[in-house]
Amino acid sequence: MLFTDFQLDNRLLQSLKHMGIDTPTDIQEQAIPFALAGKDLMASSKTGSGKTLAFLLPAMQRIISTRALSKRDPRVVILLPTRELATQVYSQLRLLVANTQYKAIKILGGENFNDQAKALARDPHFVVATPGRLADHLAQRHLHLNGLELLILDEADRMLDLGFAEQLKAINNAADHKRRQTLMFSATLDHTDINDIAAELLADPEHVAIGAAN
Ligand code: ADP
Ligand code: MG
C-alpha cells in the first residue's frame, strides 16, 4: 500500500513526497487508520520503524480537517522523554506544518522559562514537549488544555523509566474531556507501569504491536 491510499490531505502527501517517502512502514500501515478514525491507541514497534510519522500524520490530518473544539490552543500536545527526542520529532513536525497555516512550538527542559511562557501565550496549535517542563507551565497557568484534541505520548516506556508518571497524569487530568483522543507509542510493552498509565489515560484503546518488541 501507499500513503496515497490513506485519507490524508494533499499538503501532507506533498510533504511526504518532498521527504522521498511513499510507502508506509508496518506500524504506520496499522496505526494510521485507527488514529485517523479517532480511536485511542497503544502502539509498539522497535526503534527506527517509523513511529513518528505514525502519529504526526494523523495529528496533522485531524487539525487540518476539523474545526477546533475550543478557542483555546494548543490542539495537539506531543510528549517525549528527552530534549533530543523532542527536538527530532519537532523537526519532522516542522516539515509537515511548513506546508500549512498551523504553528508548532517546542517546550523543553533547560531552556528559558519566560520565553516559553510567551510562546505558549501566542496560541500554537501544536506543542512538542518534555513532561516535566510542560507540567511546570501547566502549574503556572501558562498552558490551557481545555481545547486539547489530541494527546500523544511517544517513548512512553522511557518516560515512565525517567519518573514522569505524575507529570503525565497531571497533563492528562488538565485535558480531561470526552472528545479528546490519546495515542501512546512505545518501543516495548513490558514495562511494569505501562498498563497502569494506559488504563488511566486511554479510553477503549486499539492495540497495535509490530514484531517482537525489544
Ligand atoms: P521510531 O520512532 O520508530 O524509532 P522514526 O519515526 O524516528 O522511528 O523513523 C526512523 C527513520 O525512518 C526516520 O529517518 C524517518 O524519516 C524514516 N521513515 C519513517 N517512515 C518512513 C517510510 N514510510 N519510508 C521510509 N522512511 C521512513
Ligand atoms: Mg521514535
Q: What's the rounded Cα separation, in Å, for the pair 44 and 157?
A: 10
Residue 36 confidence (pLDDT): 98
- Of 12, 25, 89, 90, the residue with max ligand 1 atoms within 8 A of its CB, to mutate for a pocket test, comes to 25
| Distance (Å) from CA 53 to ligand 2 centroid | 9
Q: Greater confidence, 178 or 146?
A: 146
Residue 10 lies in a domain: no
Residue 83 confidence (pLDDT): 98
Q: How many CB atoms lie within 10 A of CB 115?
A: 10
Cβ atoms of residues 197 and 156 within 8 Å: yes
Residue 58 lies in a domain: yes
Choice among 63-77, 87-101, 110-124, 146-160 with the minimum mean pLDDT: 63-77
Residue 16 lies in a domain: no
Place of cell 491507541: 41
Ligand 1 surroundings by CB, under 6 angstroms: 21, 23-25, 28, 47-53
Residue 189 confidence (pLDDT): 82
Residue 13 lies in a domain: no
Q: Greater confidence, 136 or 67?
A: 136
What is the total count of domains within the chain?
1
The yes-or-no verdict on residue 24 having pLDDT over 50 is yes
Ligand 1, residue 49: give the atom nearest the CA: 3
Residue 6 lies in a domain: no
The yes-or-no verdict on residue 58 having pLDDT over 60 is yes
| Distance (Å) from CA 71 to ligand 2 centroid | 30
The yes-or-no verdict on residue 214 having pLDDT over 50 is no
The yes-or-no verdict on residue 212 having pLDDT over 70 is no
Strand, helix or coil at 115? Answer: helix
Q: What's the rounded Cα separation, in Å, for the pair 51 and 77?
A: 16
Residue 61 lies in a domain: yes
pLDDT (tens digit per residue) in 112-162? 999 999 999 999 999 999 999 999 999 999 999 999 999 999 999 999 999
Residue 214 lies in a domain: no
| Distance (Å) from CA 41 to ligand 1 centroid | 19
Q: How are the residues of the chain apportioned to helix, strand and coil, as percentages rounded to the nearest 5?
A: 45, 15, 40
| Distance (Å) from CA 160 to ligand 2 centroid | 15
| Distance (Å) from CA 170 to ligand 1 centroid | 30
pLDDT (tens digit per residue) in 182-204? 999 999 887 778 999 999 999 99
pLDDT (tens digit per residue) in 2-13? 999 999 999 999
For the chain, the maximum distance between any two Cα atoms, rounded to a whole number of angstroms, is 46
The yes-or-no verdict on residue 92 having pLDDT over 50 is yes
Cβ atoms of residues 120 and 127 within 8 Å: yes
The yes-or-no verdict on residue 42 having pLDDT over 50 is yes
Residue 178 confidence (pLDDT): 79
Residue 165 lies in a domain: yes
Residue 188 confidence (pLDDT): 87
Closest residue CA from atom 5 of ligand 1: 50
Share of the chain above pLDDT 70, in %: 99
Residue 211 confidence (pLDDT): 86
Residue 209 confidence (pLDDT): 95
The yes-or-no verdict on residue 170 having pLDDT over 50 is yes
**Residue among 88, 107, 93, 20 at smallest CA distance from 63:** 93
ipTM: 0.99
The range of the structural domain enclosing residue 118 comes to 26-209
Q: Give 24-86 as a DSSP string.
A: --HHHHHHHHHHHTT--EEEE--TTS-HHHHHHHHHHHHHHHS--SSSSSPSEEEE-SSHHHH
Q: Is the peptide bond before 124 cis (omega within 30 degrees of 0)?
A: no
User: Which CATH number characterizes residue 197's domain?
Assistant: 3.40.50.300
Tell me the residues surrounding ligand 2 (ion) with CB < 5 Å: 51
**What cell does 158 get?**
522511557
